[in-house]
A = this chain, B = another copy of it.
Amino acid sequence: MIRIAIDAMGGDYAPKEQIAGALLALEKISDIELTLYGNENEIRSLLKGENDRIKIVNAEYVIGMGEKNPIKAIKEHPESSMASALASLRKDENDAVVSSGATQALIAGAHILVRRMQGFKRTAIAPVMPSVSGKPTILLDAGANLEIKPEHMLQQAYFAYVYAKEVLEIPKPVVGLINIGTEEGKGREFDKEVFELFKNTDLFDFYGNVEPKSVLDPPCDILISDGFTANIVMKTMEGTAKGMGTMLKQKLTSSFLGKIGALLARKNLKEFKHAMSPEEIGGALIYGLYRPVIKAQGASKAYGFYNAIRQAATIVRNEVFPKVERYLQESRKDENDEQETA
């Protein structure tokens, strides 16, 4: 059985929607068992009965959604639902954590209580974006590593490749480097080094440089850059969607047909803006931790939370983490061999 820890108390509509999502997950996914971390009385009253695939671990404190000092909150409240769920991974009590609690607290908590996978140098945040064609695109790193070495990006790209293959079910995921031009040799010195490294790797197919002009219709499945650049891309998408929504409203509300158009367009723009917002990205996985931690949307309702649980189960079932670990072990072995030969 896949053992998933649920932070039952984190999220705008917790614990109600989290519990409903957990029950839905148990109904739909047969190979999981869940441990709910949170206020036992509240949880019991929402569960309405026993289920032999649910355990409850009482956790008295809840880290607020607007927590200003996430590191302090996590450190000072090991008894919180989030911290106790995270801590269960290193104790081998669970295989993954799902939380819709405060993003920064979850990231800080994951680094403190779950820590990195052995040999993985820089964890990354990798939202999955919508695209024109309907196929998902992984964007990384969305802000964890502002300054990073090319070889660390190779690890991250490989993680994304395994994730895209095993979880997004893309048979042959292709990686593209975000850059200001498509030709080889474009960009900063850093980008040229990354290009060279990716061009010569056997780990995945490298498309080459991709301009953000095609960010919503990219010729690849994974878009990668340093955490500063990819975060700028994500926030520019959000800002453009937001600004365009307002501009369209201004322009369109001057005539009757325009008003209809505005209403119709605005609904879609709102959905789009929502999808682009880094705070609202559902089911974002932190790459390179010891075990999977999934950040579900803060505003998750039951179905969204169920989806995050399903994602966690798929990651564990399809051995995303062990596959990356094997690669890391082999590359360490290669390095050692080289050192011995040298």
Q: Which residues of B contact A236 (CB under 8 A)?
A: 212, 215, 232-233, 236-237, 240
A322 contacts the other chain (CB 8 A): no
The answer to whether A232 and B235 have CB atoms under 8 Å apart is no
A203 contacts the other chain (CB 8 A): no
Q: Which residues of B contact A131 (CB under 8 A)?
A: 243
The answer to whether B216 and A244 have CB atoms under 8 Å apart is yes
- Interface majority SS on A: helix, strand, loop or mixed? helix
Which one of A259-267, A297-305, A331-339 is at the interface? Answer: A259-267
Alpha-carbon separation in the docked complex, A215 to B215 (Å):
17
The answer to whether A264 and B272 have CB atoms under 8 Å apart is no
The answer to whether A272 and B247 have CB atoms under 8 Å apart is yes
A217 contacts the other chain (CB 8 A): yes
Per-residue contact bits, chain A 142-185, to B (CB 8 Å; 1 contact, 0 not): 01001100000000000000000000000000000010100000
Alpha-carbon separation in the docked complex, A243 to B137 (Å):
13
Q: Which residues of B contact A231 (CB under 8 A)?
A: 180
Q: Which residues of B contact A264 (CB under 8 A)?
A: 252, 257-258, 260-262, 265
Q: Which residues of B contact A323 (CB under 8 A)?
A: none
In the A-B complex, the 7 residue pairs with the closest CB atoms: A216-B243, A261-B264, A212-B236, A236-B236, A265-B265, A240-B240, A215-B239
B-contacting residues of A (Cβ < 8 Å)? 130-132, 143, 146-147, 178, 180, 187-189, 211-217, 228-229, 231-233, 235-244, 246-248, 250-252, 257-258, 260-265, 268-269, 272
Return 10 A-B CB contacts under 8 Å, by A number: A132-B243, A211-B235, A211-B239, A212-B236, A213-B242, A232-B236, A244-B272, A252-B268, A260-B261, A261-B264
